[in-house]
Structure 1
Amino acid sequence: MSPTHGTFSETNSAEVVSARHAACTNPRLAEVMSALIRHLHDFAKEVHLSQDEWGLAVDFLTRTGQICSGQRQEFILLSDVLGVSMLVDAINNRRPEGATENTVFGPFHVADAPERQMGDNICLDGKGESCLFEGRVLDLEGQPIQGATVDVWSDNADGFYDVQQLGIQPPGNNRGVFVTGADGRYAFIGIKPVSYPIPDDGPVGQMLAQLGRHPYRPAHMHYLVTAPGFQRLVTHTFVGGDSYLTSDAVFGVKASLVAPYTRLHDQPTQWHAPFDFVLAPL
């Protein structure tokens, strides 16, 4: 008897289930589903999964879906804290040596951030320690890229993004889009970012607590850098010395993205954070 019509058993469970997809006309879907079934069944066998444990898992996934809304995506949060988001990002953003590394996009980017003049202050609520962010957008040969769009965003001094505090923070607070000139330079004034917890009042936060894990992300500034003829770069610069650098709740830290934040004295800003971005060609 073929596996397609075979009798299900503990030994051949994955093979029997996958064989039922023989009529699937989408080769990639068949490949992905067969691998998912194989690994899921192997997992259940390896840990001798009990019916109560599987029921708990189904309840967890149900509650994860129920808390999702237009403003909150708990499943993305689950993917983040399990390291899956960073793994998928790494697989899909392999770059040549010398190019700036990618990291997770995060849920707080907005598509219509205001375009600002080079050197503008993006902090609109007056909170936090001021910081000058500047550097260049370069190609792999070290040549400046003209016309690169540098889209930036960060939390405020209280650890919240503007979209988390509608009506409290000014719209567009700690956000801005800058376009480089012939020298490839960008510059803006923001605040030194602060570390903050991911939303931990739902099922994912409960899971982290049960695992003895904290929900914090180290302080960082977000960047989305694009230019014609070059790969899209989604990245952060992290504040050197942050206590959560080695335990980021979403595994987003890469050593090459830890930036120097230098304390300034008798200067217009309290901090200086230089960082050059190197784009890989398409």
Structure 2
Amino acid sequence: MKLCNIRGSRNVEDRRGRSSLGRAGGIGGVGLLVVLAIGYFTGVDVTPLLTEPQSDSRSAYVPTEAEQHAAEFASRVLATTEDVWTDVFLNQLDAPYRPPVLVLFSEVTQSPCGGASGASGPFYCPADQKAYLDLSFFTTLERELGAQGDFASAYVIAHEVAHHVQNEIGILEQVDAVRRQSGEAQANALTVRLELQADCLSGLWASQVHGLMERGDLEEALNAARKIGDDHLQRRAGRVPQPHTFTHGTSEQRANWFQRGFDAKSIAACDTFEQG
């Protein structure tokens, strides 16, 4: 992906080198219910938010050259999403787009949706409209999951921003309301549709940065989508795939919906709740 002449985003919160334990402020009865609901909806562990605050300190932190390069890469990819979604919202929804903040952290941090760690992977928290990313996930993506290439990493960021797009247009809230009244299997099925829609919206983003793409970039994104399909990950863990436990979709579904968004270039084409 050709990002040399792309600006860096100003919507980046750098928490690398900061050790964050506990939570800020107390949680009352209503607040507790909100936190628990967010945890149920997002799948993020909210246990750390229910403990007393301990400390928040930053030591002298000097990132490696590779990590700093990854941080600059993430900032520039985020900037492309800002430009793309501003245009798409204006042209397709006749509405303004309010971009999310991307939080870069190392090892562990906290969010209103619960604790985040490198092991938990990137996620979007609708409560503060921020996406959380430990840059070491890029290494995990390539070395452990077999999704090589810079566009595979860009897809990860675009996918989390796509969840913010869903939040902006009200889809997350609508699905959350239905999930609260659903059993586990139906709730998982709804989450799959959310994730596949985010894949489709990521494909739409990719179609709008076509001029920045290099040979092989599209296949890198499609390969990444396949490598993080539920069926592939369950087989990789030595398990027989159990569709009722899926929360993100199969490899084929994820790649197909990304391709659909790339080809259609339309938010309307990404309605995974009405289309199969």
Shorter-chain TM-score range: under 0.3
Pick the structure with more helix per residue: 2
Whose Rg is larger?
A: 1
Q: TM-score, normalised by structure 2?
A: 0.24
Pick the structure with more strand per residue: 1
